[in-house]
Amino acid sequence: MWEPNKYRFFQLNTWNIVIFYLLLGFLWILFSDRLLEQAMDDPATLTQLQTIKGWFYVMITGVLLFVLINRHTTRIGRMRTEFIERFDLYRTLLEQGNQVVIQVDEHQHFSYANSAVRDILGYNDSELQTMHDIEALVHPNDRSRFGELRKSYDIKQKDHEPIKKRIRLRHKNESWRWYFLILTDKRSFEHIESRLLLVRDIHDETTLFEQLNEAHSRLSYHIQNTPLGFVEWDADMRVMEWSSESEQIFGWKREEVVGLLTGEWTMVYSDDAQFVMKRMKNMLQGKELRNVISNRNYTKEGDVLHCEWYNSALLDRDGRLVSIMSLVHDITKRINAQEDLKKLNALLEEKVRQRTRELELVNQELESFAYSVSHDLRAPLRGIDGFSQVLLEKYAGQLDDQGMEYLNRVRQASQRMGNLIDDILGLSRISRVNIKMERVDLAALGREIIESLQEKEPERKVNFSAPEELLVTGDTSLLRVMMQNLLENAWKYSATRKLAEIEIGYREEGKDDNGHEENGNEENGHVTVYVRDNGVGFSMKYHDKLFMPFQRLHTQDEFQGTGIGLATVQRIVYRHSGSIHAESKENGGADFIFKLPDKSV
């Protein structure tokens, strides 16, 4: 090592030599001349001897001087080489190192910075010198910490340990980065000549550390807050970690179970133990890195829980198992609920079966009722009508006009009742028949029905308009009954018009009277259709009575009918999961608007 002490020794040695030389020369001159004068009388020889002695002296001192100077020159040369070598080494270290070295001079100004400053702080040497200090680059939150370091720039201060601070500085690229600052002394021959400020970029490791810290606290936050229990096992299946939620689920405290081996306590339900161990062995042997096991466990009190275990193996860099981490989900409630649900379902199914049986019975009853109505109620009517007719024919002579008229009334009444019975039966049949869904063209049906109505009453002038096709999905025979009823109504109630207008079509977008958005086509697989006439209409205040069986808004004298038609229509629409309503005003025609399925079959 190159040590300053060598110079000191060298300096002292020079003075020693000079003193030694002066002493020797003085003694030589003092004694040799006096001794020669005593021994030699001949002045000429004496002079000759003194001359030789002088030359001899000069020769000796010359040789001595040569040896000395030569030795020192060699030594200085060697030292210079050594110095240059070391200087180069230090300079290389200084310039190539990943550390900024700044020299703070006695005026507390930056007098030097190594080239690393450009890589580490982004500024070059001269930029830094014009700044005088890096104080302007310090992050506001780190100012006070930097201040402690800044105080020690002053070299008049006493010795102290190097000051170290972690501080954020603004890099030239405007980003804040973490740096490690060390303020130390630069000494020269024991004197503090200036301070050195060393700056190391620790941003990456700091942020990495912060991220690691954050990840760790996030993980522990999750473990603390998850409703799942957390358990960690070592490679011998010894409990290493037991979270507070695990305590909640199983009842064992952390300190009771940490360190226990599988054989030392019983937490797996005995029937499940074998297969649980098999699965865990797979993990311990590295066959599985992750698995989910659903099994029963005991609590500390001996209750049985249904648990789901989410296990994952933690391996080290060499693939050796470090630990198994498990999350436990207590699904006892869910399992119990499922079982309850199953029971409830079974109960419900039983109830449904029971209801279905009851309904079937009621239906059977209804059917036999309808059958008997159809058969037994009509038979007496036939009698009434038939015998009245016989009376009219055979006994006409014995009755006056009034009597004949009464008998006709009897016949009319019985026929009307026959119609009523037929209509009621029709209505009940609609609820009983099985629906066969197919594509039905209501426009074609409408034309057919109007044609037959026209045939029956050729004198009526009716203008019927319908689109070329009006497709819906439904049961053909039921929809025919529906259209028959609606069009017969339209026909009937527009009878007072000189030119009756009957129209069917898709109801386009717009609002109905109830403020509902109506969309003619393609509304949830439904289509909205209207049947319109320009007949007498009805007052909207009776609209809720329209579709009730036997409710009529007109007398028999005005318009004939049984009051079953619209009830039948409504029932048909309902059987298609549709809806129907009417819009009208007195003497202003009527619109019957219904929604039917529109799905391709």
Partner 1 sequence: MERDILLVEDNPDDVDLTIMALEKSNILNKVKVARNGEEALDMLHGLNGVEPQALPAVVLLDLNMPKINGLEVLKEIRSNERTRRLPVVILTSSREEQDIIRGYDLGANSYIRKPVDFENFVSAVRQLGLYWLVLNESGV
Residues in touch with partner 1 (CB under 8 A): 370-372, 374-376, 378-383, 385-390, 411, 414-415, 417-418, 422, 425
CB 466 within 8 A of CB 437: no
CB 414 within 8 A of CB 436: no
186-187-193-197 Cα dihedral, nearest 10 degrees: 10
User: Toward partner 1, which CB reaches closer, 20 or 387?
Assistant: 387
Q: Which of residues 291 and 428 has its CB atom nearest to partner 1 in the complex?
A: 428
The answer to whether 1 touches 85, Cβ cutoff 8 Å, is no
> Taking the complex as a whole, how short is the minimal distance between the CB of residue 332 and partner 1, in angstroms?
56
Given the complex with partner 1, which of 192 and 392 has the nearer CB atom?
392
Q: How far is the CB of 363 from partner 1 (least distance, A)?
A: 13
Q: Got the DSSP string for 34-74?
A: HHHHHH---HHHHHHHHHHHHHHHHHHHHHHHHHHHHHHHH
Partners of 472 in the β-ladder: 440
Amino acid sitting at position 482: M
Among residues 114 and 388, whose Cβ is nearest to partner 1?
Answer: 388
CB of 389 to partner 1, least distance (A): 4
CB of 508 closer than 8 Å to CB of 421 = no
Q: Write the DSSP symbol of residue 202.
A: -
Smallest separation (angstroms) from partner 1 to the CB of 428: 11
Nearer to partner 1, 72 or 382 (CB): 382
The three-state secondary structure class of 33 is helix
Instruction: Output the smallest distance, CB 476 to partner 1, in A.
Output: 15
Q: Which is nearer to partner 1, 370 or 529 (CB)?
A: 370
C-alpha triplet 559, 561, 564: angle, nearest 5°: 140
Between 286 and 383, whose beta carbon lies closer to partner 1? 383
Q: Are 246 and 229 in contact (CB under 8 A)?
A: yes
Q: Is 546 helix (H, G, I), strand (E, B) or coil?
A: coil
Measure the CA–CA gap between 397 and 166, rounded to whole angstroms: 134
Give the shortest CB-355-to-partner 1 separation in angstroms: 24
Q: Nearest distance from residue 306's CB to partner 1, in Å?
A: 55
From the CB of 451, what's the least distance to partner 1, in Å? Answer: 24
Rank residues 339 and 367 by Cβ distance to partner 1 and give the closer one.
367
DSSP letter (8 states) at residue 138:
B
**Cβ of 395: how many Cβ atoms within 10 Å?**
12
Say which residue the tokens 């993990």 belong to: 283
DSSP per position, 64-100: HHHHHHHHHHHHHHHHHHHHHHHHHHHHHHHHHSSEE
Residue placing its CB nearer to partner 1 in the complex, 376 or 401: 376
CA distance 536 to 495: 9
Give the separation between CA 438 and CA 134, rounded to whole angstroms: 87
Q: What is the DSSP secondary-structure string of 295-319?
A: EEEE-TTS-EEEEEEEEEEEE-TTS
Q: Which is nearest to 152 in space by CA: 126, 181, 112? A: 181
User: Taking the CA of residue 401 as centre, how many other CA atoms within 13 Å lie in the half-sphere pointing to its CB?
Assistant: 0
Q: 443: how many CB neighbours lie within 10 A of its CB? A: 19
We find the least distance from the C-beta atom of residue 511 to partner 1, in angstroms, to be 42
> In the complex, what is the shortest distance from the CB of residue 418 to partner 1, in angstroms, rounded to a whole number?
3
Q: Are 596 and 576 in contact (CB under 8 A)?
A: yes
Shortest distance, position 356 Cβ to partner 1, whole Å: 21
In the complex, minimum distance from the CB of residue 481 to partner 1, in angstroms, rounded to a whole number:
14
**Is the separation of the CB atoms in 90 and 70 below 8 Å?**
no
Our CB check for partner 1 shows the closer of 221 and 406 to be 406
- Residue 440 C-beta: closest distance to partner 1, Å: 20
β-strand pairing of 462-465 with 500-506 = parallel
In the complex, what is the shortest distance from the CB of residue 575 to partner 1, in angstroms, rounded to a whole number? 17
* Strand (E) or helix (H) holding 385: helix 378-394
Least gap, CB of 528 to partner 1 (angstroms): 32
Pairing of strands 500-506, 526-533: antiparallel
Query: What is the C-alpha separation between 179 and 204, in angstroms, rounded?
Result: 10
Which of 376, 459 has the CB closer to partner 1?
376
How many Å apart are CA 492 and CA 562, to the nearest integer? 13
The two structure tokens encoding residue 293: 């096991």
